[in-house]
Structure 1
């Protein structure tokens, strides 16, 4: 099963951006870790019939009433947890590991930091970053493949604007 994890889209539009629509169309499940921002954006993802989602801190009040704060689901015997917040820093994932253990999940997908992360210890932590509003990264999603009880995950960069810091760093590198 191919799962696309996405978070922090912060869109007001009622369409999935063409820059990553083909990736969404080619998966079995979409897991959104919150911050759609508007009901219209949520409905665009939900209309695919593949969506599992939680609300984020920037979602409007209607979405916060509709979507849970935490979600647990299972794929091929693997327990997944989904939350928006949980990380104050990408440098210290200890609270996220403890949250995964508390939720009794094998994989915890989270958002909020707008920067991708895949980290494996006794649990797998995945932050898909943001395809539309990245921080210290390029726009991206995470592809998760589950096959016969095994998991593989990789960051997929999509077209769009990188954060200003990344653009600045690349410019400095090109000048040297």
Structure 2
């Protein structure tokens, strides 16, 4: 099962459209995760129409229309792996401990907000935290980013951070 992970698209504030490199991944993804800060409903409509299964949440920049259509936290089980999706997890320091306490029933937590890619595991190895960064707004990062991953035999594999070329 192939996964596509994104967050903080901020359309059309930060870019006019999702990057072509990300859109090319959409037909190959069995599941798409979006960890909030969509800003526009058109992006939600596009991903709903173009993906088999979409799991998204609203972020702090999302208005009433998006909040009416999306939860603050989403959970789904895929091939025995329990996923959670949330926009904000707080400061980097202590993140693994806080998230393990807040999401004891989750194996993989997809989050956003910082625009900083993140891939870590709690000390006990129980919870993996993934932030795909932003495909449209790199802020202090050298690249705009998104992630892909696979689920094979109930395990998360092939987690890859995709660095996008600078926009012209």
1:9-88 alignment runs, 5 A limit: 9-12=9-12, 16-50=18-52, 51-86=54-89, 88=90
Normalising by structure 2, we get a TM-score of 0.86
| Whole-angstrom CA distance in 2 between matches of 1:19 and 1:147 | 24
Higher Cα Rg: structure 1 or 2? 1
| Structure 1 residues 52 and 45: alpha-carbon distance in aligned structure 2, compared to 1, 3 A threshold | same
| Structure 1 residues 24 and 90: alpha-carbon distance in aligned structure 2, compared to 1, 3 A threshold | farther
Kindly indicate whether the alpha-carbon contact (under 8 Å) linking 2:11 and 2:40 is maintained by their aligned counterparts in 1.
yes
Task: Kindly state the Cα deviation for residue 113 of structure 1 after the two structures are TM-superposed.
Answer: 0.7
RMSD: 1.8
Task: Kindly state the Cα deviation for residue 59 of structure 1 after the two structures are TM-superposed.
Answer: 1.1
Kindly indicate whether the alpha-carbon contact (under 8 Å) linking 2:8 and 2:38 is maintained by their aligned counterparts in 1.
yes
Task: Kindly state the Cα deviation for residue 3 of structure 1 after the two structures are TM-superposed.
Answer: 0.4
Q: Which moved more, 1:112-121 or 1:130-139?
A: 130-139
Count of aligned positions: 158
Q: Greater helix percent: which structure? A: 1
Task: Kindly state the Cα deviation for residue 89 of structure 1 after the two structures are TM-superposed.
Answer: 2.3
Task: Kindly state the Cα deviation for residue 34 of structure 1 after the two structures are TM-superposed.
Answer: 0.7
Task: Kindly state the Cα deviation for residue 15 of structure 1 after the two structures are TM-superposed.
Answer: 5.2
| Higher RCO (CA < 8 A, seq sep 6+) | 2
Normalising by structure 1, we get a TM-score of 0.82
| Whole-angstrom CA distance in 2 between matches of 1:160 and 1:59 | 25
For residues 109-147 of structure 1, give each alpha carbon's deviation from its aligned partner in whole angstroms, at most 9, with x where no partner exists.
Answer: 111010110101221011111011123321111112100
* Stretches (4+) displaced over 4 A: none
Pair 1:3-2:3 in alignment: yes
For residues 77-118 of structure 1, give each alpha carbon's deviation from its aligned partner in whole angstroms, at most 9, with x where no partner exists.
Answer: 0000011112x22343132232222xx111111110101101
Task: Kindly state the Cα deviation for residue 49 of structure 1 after the two structures are TM-superposed.
Answer: 3.2
Segments of structure 1 that go 5 or more residues without pairing to the other structure are 162-176
2:134 is paired with a residue whose SS is coil
